[in-house]
């Protein structure tokens, strides 16, 4: 028995490829339309809230959302958070208390893929909630809180520290996980949030080592701050600031870093919800 004619096979393959491309195009078109429709629920306040939350680590409680200006009352905040959840810009990852996390839709909205939208262990979630509390307190300081990465690099360049002196990754300046505050007087403050479940000495060494070259340029005009969530960690870091290894990277600065205790504690969290595992918002 003779097989199918080669021309027939090629025609069939072309038809299958065309069908596949048509289906893929149709899926992406529908996804784009759905995303466009969902962005209709975002007013200026919600848009700013989501983008700021992404810069701060991607997690927040209801109280934090209110303090960040999403709405003026707890009831209104819950309503707006629910709208953002139903529109798949947020998902609830804890039920007691309610803790919300940004989704891939937010990274799509911003045009940058953020690690903040991925799943994290409880310790990481707590640290990022502490980071939000630190931001809420530090924004009242007499300094501009810089969130955009390019703004941070420009701020260092403005005070006399070129990009090649900054911490880097892959040959490029890397300040994504650092909080930079600009008092506007020719100095800068860089803050990082303590990982309470990790070795404090290693964290302090990492901080002063990363910015050692910047210190050569800026000297006392660059201050480093470690934000902690407890008095015990504050005492521990105060001792570590005098450690010989830490002083070795301080470039002669009398205070290698200072410690700031965030006054608002992070609540204990329980009842992890797996709702996000069955949602499709990680895909669109």
pLDDT of 111 strictly over 50:
yes
Domain contains 27: no
- Tens digit of each residue's pLDDT (9 = 90 or more) over 115-159: 555 677 899 999 999 999 999 999 999 999 999 999 999 999 999
Same domain for 181 and 229: yes
- Mean pLDDT computed over every residue of the chain: 84
Same domain for 104 and 165: no
Domain contains 30: no
Nearest to 148 by CA among 120, 173, 179, 185: 179
Same domain for 247 and 143: yes
Give the C-alpha separation, 124 to 120, whole Å.
6
Q: Sorting pLDDT into bands at 50, 70 and 90, what band is 20?
A: very low
Its pTM surpasses 0.85: no
| Number of domain units in the chain | 2
Q: Which of 83, 118, 153 is where one domain is finished?
A: 118
Enclosing domain of residue 152: 138-261
Same domain for 256 and 176: yes
Residues 6+ apart with CB under 8 A from 203: 192, 194, 195, 226
Report the CATH number that the domain containing residue 70 is assigned in CATH: 1.10.10.10
Same domain for 154 and 84: no
Same domain for 143 and 239: yes
Give the C-alpha separation, 28 to 107, whole Å.
17
């Amino acid at each position: 028995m003779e097989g199918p004619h080669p021309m027939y096979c090629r025609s069939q393959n072309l038809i299958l490829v065309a069908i596949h491309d048509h289906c893929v195009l149709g899926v992406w078109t529908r996804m784009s339309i759905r995303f466009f429709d969902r962005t209709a629920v975002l007013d200026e306040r919600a848009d700013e809230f989501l983008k700021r939350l992404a810069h701060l680590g991607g997690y927040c409680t209801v109280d934090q959302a209110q303090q960040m200006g999403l709405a003026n009352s707890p009831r209104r905040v819950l309503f707006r958070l629910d709208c953002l959840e139903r529109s798949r810009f947020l998902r609830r990852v804890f039920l007691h208390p309610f803790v919300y996390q940004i989704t891939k839709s937010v990274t799509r909205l911003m045009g940058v893929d953020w690690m903040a939208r991925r799943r994290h262990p409880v310790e990481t979630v707590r640290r990022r909630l502490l980071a939000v509390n630190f931001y809420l307190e530090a924004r009242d300081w007499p300094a501009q809180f810089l969130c955009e990465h390019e703004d941070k690099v420009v701020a260092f360049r403005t005070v006399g520290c070129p990009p090649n002196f900054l911490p880097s990754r892959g040959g490029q300046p890397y300040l994504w996980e650092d909080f930079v505050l600009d008092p506007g007087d020719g100095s800068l403050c860089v803050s990082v949030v303590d990982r309470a479940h990790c070795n404090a000495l290693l964290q302090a060494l990492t901080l002063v080592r990363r910015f050692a070259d910047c210190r050569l340029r800026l000297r006392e005009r660059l201050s480093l701050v470690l934000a902690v969530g407890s008095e015990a960690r504050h005492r521990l870091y105060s001792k570590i600031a005098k450690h010989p290894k830490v002083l070795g990277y301080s470039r002669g600065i009398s205070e290698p870093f200072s410690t700031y205790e965030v006054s608002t504690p992070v609540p204990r969290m329980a009842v992890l919800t797996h709702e996000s595992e069955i949602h499709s918002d990680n895909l669109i």
